[in-house]
A and B are shown apart, each in its own frame.
Chain A
Amino acid sequence: MYLTKEEELILAGEYGYALQKAMEILVALGEIYGADRLIPIKSAQVAGVSYKNIGDAGMEFLRDFVDAGARVSVYTTLNPAGIGDDEFMEKQGRVLGLYRSMGIEATSTCTPYYGANLPKFGDHLAWSESSAVSFANSIIGARTNREGGPSSLAAAIVGKTPNYGLHLDESRRATVIVDVGAEVRTFVDYAALGYHVGKTLGNDVPYFINLKPQKTEFLKEMGAAMAASGSVALYHVEGETPEYRNAIDDRIERITVEDSDIKAVREAFRDDWSGIDMILIGCPHASLSEVKEIAELLRMRGRPLRIPLFITASRAVKALADSLGYTEVIERYNGRIIVDACFVVSPLKGWYKGIATNSGKSAFYFRSFGFSVRLDDAENLIMESP
């Protein structure tokens, strides 16, 4: 891999230990994956935030890295944090503090594009969170591989990433056509479609035909589910997403999705309300319009929920919901907006045993954690819930 004079100096340790280590990580990844050079990035989104995931091992590394003078050189935000008991929250607070001392914006969200960190078409990024990576690549047309915690941090510090994978035109072309023969209308239909396609394809680049999403949120949800049940980091939708015109260049394989496929996913997550003790909306973090919809549904329901409703969202969206009055409505009906956190990366076992959600991604993870799961559209969840 070609390195500039300055990059060579960083690698030789001329700019200190932290930059040297970060550069070593980028160069090693570049060599492993056959990059020709490093390219500048516009922003980073760093994983390895929840104390449940990184533990004392990760915290120790971050502390040493801060002591060695690690500072980010591009605008950087964080993955959602975990929530837990007092001891957990104390450690979680320390993790966030360490990232803050590196100059990272300590806003922890899988939807940075709803606030602090909105890329534009063609920008090179080093993002981590799988649904955010999917959104940035597919809906915005920015370019990022699915980075791990240390590699996104290294890229944030150096301000560059190795030029391979989804940074390259040829890796962004579709590898399979997904013909949507099924009727796909609601939020959860899109979640189920994403879940089914992710599970079927693994890490392909799907090209959807016959899909007309009414809302961007539907695609956000589909992408999140596809990145959870499989590892799809980029997809195209004919007539919808920005790169579909150049996505197909020769004959590629085709799969068809039927109504029965969507129904099968919905039926796989139909656990009875008797085993459900919380409702989760906002995976990925809810947009303002999703929050507004929930507030309106609660008003229509007209009586408080007997089991708690949690809406996870970014700080930015919660601030708007507060000032527009939606938060107050939601709280009146036994709901709460939880900011900058994620239940999937929280030690929830023992607190709750079953979740009702409109998220295919959450359904996938909570089932794997041994929870009862009921997957349905928000309208049905709010109206049917005890």
Chain B
Amino acid sequence: MKLKGRRVVGGTAEGELVVSQKPLSFLGGVDPETGVVTDAESDIRGQNISGKVLAFPRGKGSTVGSYVIYALKKNGKAPKAIIVGEAETIVATGAIIAEIPMVDGIDVSKLKNGATVRVNGDSGEVEVLNSGE
């Protein structure tokens, strides 16, 4: 299955999906030291996003969240790629400064935890390689 979104940050990556159906706050919501989601309102609380392809509807919370994404990258705990339904300032800026491929305009309710996907940040395409079930 191929989903067509829009380029936010270029580059390609392939990996296992961690999918949230809720908006995600990075400041106070993701531990920059470990990559573990700590956001109390998140449906992926306790999961580790490090080395995964992270998909969620959109960012929320403080704009300082961009710096948390940068710190994840510096600590080697960043997701390989980011997929969102709707890009906004916090996550887009974070992905740019951390140089993480990112696409938006993807209906994340169609994505399943554990599936393997290939993200092409240049073309905005997400290809589901195996469903993971």
In the complex, residue of chain A having the shortest beta-carbon distance to the beta carbon of B72: A57
The proximity string for A residues 145-177 relative to B, scoring 1 for CB distances below 8 Å and 0 otherwise, is 001111100100000000000000000000000
Contact A48 B63 (CB under 8 A): yes
Contact A148 B66 (CB under 8 A): yes
Contact B89 A29 (CB under 8 A): yes
Contact A57 B63 (CB under 8 A): no
In the complex, residue of chain A having the shortest beta-carbon distance to the beta carbon of B90: A148
B48 at the interface (CB under 8 A from A): no
Interface of B is mostly: helix
Chain A residues near B74: list those with CB within 8 A: 60
The proximity string for B residues 52-95 relative to A, scoring 1 for CB distances below 8 Å and 0 otherwise, is 00000000001110111011001000000000000111101110
The proximity string for B residues 1-38 relative to A, scoring 1 for CB distances below 8 Å and 0 otherwise, is 00000101100000000000000000100001000000
Known: A28-B8, A28-B93. A58 touches B64 (CB 8 A): yes
A361 at the interface (CB under 8 A from B): no
Give Cα distance in the complex from A301 to B62, angstroms.
Answer: 41
B104 at the interface (CB under 8 A from A): yes
Contact A150 B97 (CB under 8 A): yes
Contact B88 A149 (CB under 8 A): no
In the complex, residue of chain A having the shortest beta-carbon distance to the beta carbon of B10: A24
A183 at the interface (CB under 8 A from B): no
Known: A21-B96, A21-B97. A151 touches B63 (CB 8 A): yes
Chain A residues near B68: list those with CB within 8 A: 57
Residue with the highest number of chain B CB atoms closer than 10 Å, among A56, A60, A150: A150
Chain A residues near B94: list those with CB within 8 A: 150
A197 at the interface (CB under 8 A from B): no
Known: A57-B32, A60-B74, A61-B97. A29 touches B92 (CB 8 A): yes
Q: How many residues of A contact B (CB 8 A)?
A: 23
Known: A28-B93, A29-B89. A48 touches B67 (CB 8 A): yes
Contact B92 A149 (CB under 8 A): no
Chain B residues near A252: list those with CB within 8 A: none
Contact A150 B88 (CB under 8 A): no
A97 at the interface (CB under 8 A from B): no
Contact A32 B96 (CB under 8 A): no
Give Cα distance in the complex from A301 to B9, angstroms.
Answer: 61
Give Cα distance in the complex from A57 to B67, angstroms.
Answer: 6
In the complex, residue of chain A having the shortest beta-carbon distance to the beta carbon of B104: A32
A54 at the interface (CB under 8 A from B): yes
**Which A124-155 residues have a C-beta within 8 angstroms of B?**
147-151, 154
A178 at the interface (CB under 8 A from B): no
Contact B93 A150 (CB under 8 A): yes
Give Cα distance in the complex from A147 to B62, angstroms.
Answer: 11
The proximity string for A residues 46-62 relative to B, scoring 1 for CB distances below 8 Å and 0 otherwise, is 01100001111110110
Give Cα distance in the complex from A32 to B88, angstroms.
Answer: 7
In the complex, residue of chain A having the shortest beta-carbon distance to the beta carbon of B74: A60
Distance in angstroms from A35 CB to nearest chain B CB is 13
Known: A21-B96, A25-B96, A32-B8. A148 touches B89 (CB 8 A): yes
Give Cα distance in the complex from A54 to B68, angstroms.
Answer: 8
Chain B residues near A149: list those with CB within 8 A: 63-64, 66-67
Contact B96 A24 (CB under 8 A): yes
Give Cα distance in the complex from A57 to B72, angstroms.
Answer: 8
Distance in angstroms from B133 CB to nearest chain A CB is 33
Distance in angstroms from B5 CB to nearest chain A CB is 12
In the complex, residue of chain A having the shortest beta-carbon distance to the beta carbon of B89: A148
The proximity string for A residues 1-45 relative to B, scoring 1 for CB distances below 8 Å and 0 otherwise, is 000000000000000000001001100110110000000000000
Contact B97 A25 (CB under 8 A): yes
A-side residues, CB < 8 A to B, are: 21, 24-25, 28-29, 31-32, 47-48, 53-58, 60-61, 147-151, 154
Extra pairs beyond A54-B67, A154-B93 (18, CB < 8 Å): A24-B9, A25-B92, A28-B9, A28-B92, A32-B92, A32-B104, A53-B27, A57-B32, A57-B64, A57-B68, A58-B64, A60-B71, A61-B67, A61-B71, A148-B90, A149-B64, A150-B97, A151-B89
22 contacts between A and B (CB under 8 A): A21-B96, A24-B96, A25-B92, A25-B93, A28-B8, A28-B92, A28-B93, A29-B89, A32-B92, A48-B64, A48-B67, A53-B62, A54-B67, A57-B67, A60-B71, A60-B74, A148-B63, A148-B64, A148-B90, A149-B66, A150-B63, A150-B66
B-side residues, CB < 8 A to A, are: 6, 8-9, 27, 32, 62-64, 66-68, 70-71, 74, 87-90, 92-94, 96-97, 104
